[in-house]
Amino acid sequence: MIFGRSERDKPPVEPVTLKILVAGGFGVGKTTLVGAVSEIRPLRTEELLTEAGRPVDDLSGVEAKNTTTVAMDFGRITLREDLVLYLFGTPGQERFWFMWDELAEGALGAVVLADTRRLQDCFAAVDYFERRSIPFLVGVNCFEGAARYPAEDVRRALDLDPDVPILMGDARDRESVKTVLVGVVQHAMAQAAQRRQAVTT
């Protein structure tokens, strides 16, 4: 008599791994976001700010910040048994933007993290992903003491297309960050489905 395999005997499911970028201006919370949600100890490439960098580092609005990401932040989160996200935080300062092309290779989508007090700091990231047709959403990091604006006001200020999602959240809060990451995956999948449909019609 031949018995079927029990659930316990089945080989483990190989998860799909997806690469997500986290971009935005200097001091907007990218390192914090990756650290808040990563299930492994995040890889960080932070260095102390120095006097030598003062002429090129704009600390407006983040005067208390004394470190900067010089290459990337890296973390990992399992959203489901069959879905794992690799998170790559990009450096925010202009002098490290040369890293972005390498980090963007193979990315499914991106989070552009924004601070309503310094929205202009995320223009470069928005432009970067638009030019390369990488699906992205804007995650507004709601800092304490910062003014809160409706999503449509943020959309107009950033001149975003109507289909770009905008989510409010807190980069320090794991559940808030998970909501943003799920939103990126859903948006990227929807964009991919639209492209496939356009090809077949």
- Burial class from Cβ neighbours inside 10 Å (0-12, 13-18, 19+) for residue 41 reads exposed
- Phi-psi sector, 176: left (phi>0), alpha (psi -120 to 50), beta: alpha
pLDDT at 38: 95
Mean per-residue pLDDT, 121-133: 94
Whether residue 99 is predicted with pLDDT greater than 80 in this model: the reply is no
* Per-residue tokens: 133: 């047709």
Query: Whole-angstrom Cα distance, residue 21 to residue 19?
Result: 7
pLDDT at 45: 62
Whether residue 107 is predicted with pLDDT greater than 90 in this model: the reply is yes
Mean per-residue pLDDT, 185-198: 91
Nearest to 147 by CA among 119, 128, 175, 123: 119
With pLDDT > 70 as the criterion, what percentage of the chain qualifies? 77
Query: Whole-angstrom Cα distance, residue 145 to residue 122?
Result: 19
Q: Cβ–Cβ contacts within 10 Å for residue 42, how many?
A: 17
Nearest to 72 by CA among 129, 25, 122, 21: 21
Strand 166-169 vs strand 136-141: parallel, antiparallel, or unpaired?
parallel
pLDDT at 95: 56
Give the residue, 186 or 45, on which the prediction is more confident: 186
pLDDT at 124: 92
Query: Whole-angstrom Cα distance, residue 17 to residue 118?
Result: 33
Mean per-residue pLDDT, 137-141: 97
3-state DSSP assignment of residue 136: strand
